[in-house]
Structure 1
Amino acid sequence: QLHEFCTGITIVPPPIRRIQDRLRDLALTSQPDMGRRFWSNAMVAALRNLLAEKSFDAVHAESLEMATYLPLIHEWYPNLPLIYGSLNAEADLQRTMFSTDRRNLRRLIGAVYSWVQWRRLTRFEGHICDIAAHVLAVSEPDRALLQKLSSTPVTVVENGIDTAPYVQLPRNQALGEHAIVFTGTMDYRPNVDAVMWFAEAILPAIVAQFPNVRFYVVGQRPHARLDPLRETLHIVITGAVPEIAPYLQGAQVYIAPLRMGSGTRFKLLEAMAAGCGVVSTDIGAQGLGVQSGNEMLIADAPADFANCVKNLLADESRRKEMGAAARQFVQTHFDWSVIVPRLLWV
């Protein structure tokens, strides 16, 4: 599909990075983990050849993992404009992970890791922003955080989706009368934390009122931390699925119980476009500009979150009303037809 939009595509295999490599870099370098994740000599060679063969107006690196090559390009071609497209304010993301995990002794190693990465990413992310001619952020909170790191202009260009396939999805009860759904890559730490927190601190109160409730955790590569949940009657961990659409169609309530993160969530945009009734934390809804009670319900305390879910499960007309408002909101603010002109302006 990319060939429809690109005059040329060069494919470089992703590097194999073992846990030993990560531990070595952690101990022997000052680089953040993200800065090494996709680093490879093959990519360096491909970039050098491509830049030597052709003349470019600018180089756009999407995500901090790929922006790790921008300092090298800046060294080769100091006058070539560089654009950094951020997906998160990564240093602040690690700060929120540290803040959450340090309160749990079982997550002490994760907290220490995030503290180290937070410090390293603050320097690294700031340097990337410094050498860029322009930086893109996906939300106003991210823009403000990135602007603190550098004087380089930062412009908000939100995440977008093609809403058409989602707005055509009819609602159903294929997953059960009281189906709760969460979607995402399930080895991603904020997603794992969200599912564990919901399952342990929130779901029991919902089960007490709705004994037939089912919580569907949908996404590839489920982390080992989720394995104990497989034995729970009310939880279904699907692993990778061919399509996400059936789970959005069957969700009586879609949840985003995120306690870590930055940026904006594609998962929420998809659920809203599909007309789901949504309950989220403040962090989950960050950057969307929604109003609690209009396009979704927002709660941070476990009891409040549980009550929001129970209220939507019990009130079909409220779910439909909120789902329709959410769908209209995403079509108006986050459809690609709205987002692309902002990117072209930059």
Structure 2
Amino acid sequence: MGRTLRYAASLRSAATQDAEMTPLRKLFFHRPLQHGEGDPVTTNHRRKKILFLTSQLPYPPHQGGAIRTYNMIVNLAPRHEIHLLSFVNSPSDLMRAGPLHQYCQTIQALPVPRRSSLKRLLTTLFSPLPDMALRLPSAEFRRALAARLEGERFDVVQVESIEMAPYAMGDAGWGTDHRPFDSAQGGPLWVFDDYNAEYVLQQRAFETDVRHPRRWIGAFYSFIQWQKLRRYEAAVCQRVDRVIAVSEADKEILQKLGPGVGVTVIPNGVDTRAYDPGQTYSLVLGPHPIVFTGKMDFRPNIDAVLWFCHQVLPLIKTQVPDVHFYIVGQKPPPRLRPLAEDPAVTLTGYVDDVRPYIAGAGVYAVPLRIGGGTRLKIMEAMALGKAIVSTSLGCEGYPVTSGRELVIADTPQEFARCVVELLGDAQRREELGHAGRRFVEERYDWRAIVPRLERVYESESQAVLSRTQKPGILYNKTEPAVFINYSHKDEE
């Protein structure tokens, strides 16, 4: 295929590793254009050169942000030229990037910066910026991004998640007054993909945790972050050319952050071909399995399974003694391990593929009480034709009706009753499963969603041509490539 993979710099010495966690300096993958890729395509939109900025490589797509970004890239690639600039933990991450090499013209990877626990504590308490904006400050990344923008002409730069938002900011990024490269003056269109209305997620986390004395430290953290994120998210949304949100609910929240915030809904979706209810799996979960999937170091997921195991599962056991609850997902924290002492609970940790577990579920549970955005897990379970019981918050953002595509229950008693009824009624489970599958096929297949994103690129690109001055986005070509006067070095 003529592909090349080259190191842009050698591995660091042991002495140099004191400054940064990883020996990775920079990796750069370049895939030459294949026959016909540079030719005009038969679409309503001009072929665009798009640069994605991500906090991690979106492959393997095992958690929400990676799933979303990966599917966007896969479905944009046939009609556009895709480039990826990303953080990685080690060189092996890029070697495992798999299909990304087929879809991206270039993949440039840089080491994840590290903060010490003390530095994180101090910035959490005293920095005016939210914790999420201080997770990935990297001079190397800023230099790499500047080099790409100075050396190439991109039509779109898409910033994935609030952690990467500082790279779409100038003075509001990490504290200087540097004018960015303005889209209205010939630069790229800047699009911010906000996975959640993050400040609302922290507000809800505070309101949940403050009711439990053992969680008051988390409540204190969320209260501080809620206030900081509201200001910061507002600044980001007012800086970029277009914000994309995952739901109408998030759109309304983000538009209230300030005048002139342009938000378009690009919902989360699912690859209905990959999540096929006709596929058979060898995994057998038992007679009455309940399944929950998710990244298990994510606070909303932690709260969800604790609430379910402590308040819902005991009620189910009185009616269905052989019920079994599977908690499927990577990085479960120590506080969840005692749950697995119950013979009726399995904590799987990381699995290569969640589909066998979802497909094997009698009932798929979404007991979320904290959150924002929309839950990809809902789409995956619907695509596999499963009966779902969810809280109202768990299915927030989706136009569903309780009793049609899924069942909604918000109290422990309601949730337990709905699960018990479905475990005992195979026909009802099948009806809900068929309705859910139709729902995602008609509304939430990625092949139908991504053209909406292309329309955003096209309409916004036309709109910026008619604008005069607008607050800038990242760099001004007339100024030196000095990025941000950030005093904190990347740390272990």
- TM bucket (normalised to shorter chain) is over 0.9
* Offset of residue 172 of structure 1: 8.1
The answer as to whether partners of 2:191 and 2:243 remain within 8 angstroms in 1 is yes
Partner of residue 339, structure 2: 229
> Counterparts of 1:18 and 1:253 in 2: how far apart (Å)?
42
When residues 173 and 325 of structure 1 are mapped into structure 2, their CA distance, relative to the original with a 3 A threshold, is: farther
Partner of residue 93, structure 2: none
> Counterparts of 2:451 and 2:156 in 1: how far apart (Å)?
18
Task: Give, as a single letter, the amino acid of the residue that structure 2 aligns with 1:344.
Answer: E
Task: Give, as a single letter, the amino acid of the residue that structure 2 aligns with 1:267.
Answer: K
The answer as to whether partners of 1:172 and 1:250 remain within 8 angstroms in 2 is no
When residues 133 and 232 of structure 1 are mapped into structure 2, their CA distance, relative to the original with a 3 A threshold, is: same
SS at match of 1:15: coil
Deviations 1:4-48 (A, max 9, x none): 333222111222233223112113311101101222222112111
Deviations 1:256-283 (A, max 9, x none): 0000001111111111101111000011
The answer as to whether partners of 2:161 and 2:195 remain within 8 angstroms in 1 is yes
The answer as to whether partners of 1:146 and 1:154 remain within 8 angstroms in 2 is yes
Quick check: which has more Rg, 1 or 2? 2
Partner of residue 67, structure 1: 165
The answer as to whether partners of 1:272 and 1:326 remain within 8 angstroms in 2 is yes
Match of 1:140 among 248, 252, 263: 248
Aligned pair 1:37/2:145, yes or no? Answer: no
Select between 142-151 and 7-16 the one with higher mean Cα deviation.
7-16
- Identity in percent: 46
Task: Give, as a single letter, the amino acid of the residue that structure 2 aligns with 1:117.
Answer: Q
Q: Normalized per residue, which structure has more helix?
A: 1
The answer as to whether partners of 1:95 and 1:118 remain within 8 angstroms in 2 is yes
Aligned pair 1:28/2:126, yes or no? Answer: yes
Task: Give, as a single letter, the amino acid of the residue that structure 2 aligns with 1:166.
Answer: Y
> Counterparts of 2:267 and 2:360 in 1: how far apart (Å)?
27
The answer as to whether partners of 2:388 and 2:407 remain within 8 angstroms in 1 is yes
Matches within 5 A, 1:1-346: 1-72=99-170, 75-79=179-183, 80=187, 81-150=189-258, 151-167=260-276, 168-170=278-280, 174-346=284-456
> Counterparts of 1:291 and 1:307 in 2: how far apart (Å)?
18
The higher relative CO (CA closer than 8 Å, separation ≥ 6) is in 2
SS at match of 1:31: coil
> Counterparts of 2:103 and 2:455 in 1: how far apart (Å)?
18
Partner of residue 90, structure 2: none
> Counterparts of 2:308 and 2:358 in 1: how far apart (Å)?
19
The answer as to whether partners of 2:270 and 2:383 remain within 8 angstroms in 1 is no
> Counterparts of 1:5 and 1:245 in 2: how far apart (Å)?
24
TM-score by length of 1: 0.97
The unaligned stretches of length 5 or more in structure 2 are: 1-98, 457-492
Partner of residue 481, structure 2: none
The answer as to whether partners of 1:169 and 1:245 remain within 8 angstroms in 2 is no
SS at match of 2:311: helix
SS at match of 1:69: helix
Select between 69-78 and 102-111 the one with higher mean Cα deviation.
69-78
The answer as to whether partners of 1:136 and 1:157 remain within 8 angstroms in 2 is yes
TM-score by length of 2: 0.68
> Counterparts of 1:321 and 1:169 in 2: how far apart (Å)?
18
> Counterparts of 1:17 and 1:332 in 2: how far apart (Å)?
44
Task: Give, as a single letter, the amino acid of the residue that structure 1 aligns with 2:192.
Answer: Y
The answer as to whether partners of 2:254 and 2:261 remain within 8 angstroms in 1 is no
* Offset of residue 152 of structure 1: 1.8
* Offset of residue 170 of structure 1: 3.9
Task: Give, as a single letter, the amino acid of the residue that structure 1 aligns with 2:195.
Answer: L
**Backbone CA RMSD of aligned residues:** 1.5
Task: Give, as a single letter, the amino acid of the residue that structure 2 aligns with 1:264.
Answer: T
The unaligned stretches of length 5 or more in structure 1 are: none
The answer as to whether partners of 2:283 and 2:357 remain within 8 angstroms in 1 is no
Task: Give, as a single letter, the amino acid of the residue that structure 1 aligns with 2:236.
Answer: I
> Counterparts of 2:136 and 2:405 in 1: how far apart (Å)?
37
SS at match of 2:110: coil
Select between 156-165 and 24-33 the one with higher mean Cα deviation.
24-33
Task: Give, as a single letter, the amino acid of the residue that structure 1 aligns with 2:179.
Answer: E
Task: Give, as a single letter, the amino acid of the residue that structure 1 aligns with 2:444.
Answer: F
> Counterparts of 2:118 and 2:344 in 1: how far apart (Å)?
37
SS at match of 2:163: helix
Select between 175-184 and 31-40 the one with higher mean Cα deviation.
31-40
Task: Give, as a single letter, the amino acid of the residue that structure 1 aligns with 2:378.
Answer: L
> Counterparts of 1:146 and 1:45 in 2: how far apart (Å)?
30
How many residues get paired?
Answer: 346
